[in-house]
Structure 1
Amino acid sequence: MKLIGTIASVAAAGTLLLLVALFCAAVVMRYVFETPIQWTEEMSGFLMIWIVMIGAVVAERDDQHLTIPLLTEALPNRIAAGVNLVTSLLSVGLLMALAWYGYSLAMKAQFKFTQILKISWTWIDLAVPLGAVGIALFTLARCIGYARTAAKGNA
Structure 2
Amino acid sequence: MRLIFLAASAFGALSVAILVVMTAAAVVARYILGMPIAWTEEVSGLLMIWIVMVGAIACEANRQHLTIDLIEGVLSPRLNRALSAVVGLASIGLLIFMSWQAWALGQTTAFKKTQILGVSWFWLDLAVVVGAAGTAVVMAWRLIRPDAEARSDAAADRLEH
> Which segments of structure 1 move beyond 4 Å, counting only runs of 4 or more?
none
Deviation of the 1:38 alpha carbon: 0.8
Provide the residue aligned with 1:118 in structure 2: 118
Provide the residue aligned with 1:80 in structure 2: 80
Deviation of the 1:4 alpha carbon: 3.0
Could you report, residue by residue, the CA deviation over 1:39-97 in whole angstroms, capped at 9, with x for unpaired residues? 11111111111111111111111111111112122111121011101110110011000
Calculate the aligned-residue CA RMSD, in Å: 1.4
Counterpart-to-counterpart distance in 2, 1:133 and 1:74:
32
Give the 5 Å matches for 1:74-153: 74-143=74-143, 144-145=145-146
Counterpart-to-counterpart distance in 1, 2:14 and 2:23:
14
Could you report, residue by residue, the CA deviation over 1:96-121 in whole angstroms, capped at 9, with x for unpaired residues? 00011111111111110000000000
With the length of structure 1 as denominator, give the TM-score of the two structures: 0.88
SS of 2:118 mapped into structure 1: coil
Taking only the aligned residue pairs, the percentage that are identical comes to 45
Contact 2:5–2:59, Cα closer than 8 Å, also in 1: no
Provide the residue aligned with 2:29 in structure 1: 29
Provide the residue aligned with 2:154 in structure 1: none
Q: Which letter maps to 2:79?
A: I
With the length of structure 2 as denominator, give the TM-score of the two structures: 0.85
Contact 2:4–2:61, Cα closer than 8 Å, also in 1: no
Counterpart-to-counterpart distance in 2, 1:145 and 1:84:
11
How many residue pairs end up in the alignment?
146
Counterpart-to-counterpart distance in 2, 1:101 and 1:92:
14
Counterpart-to-counterpart distance in 2, 1:129 and 1:122:
10
Give the 5 Å matches for 1:11-26: 11-26=11-26
Deviation of the 1:16 alpha carbon: 0.9
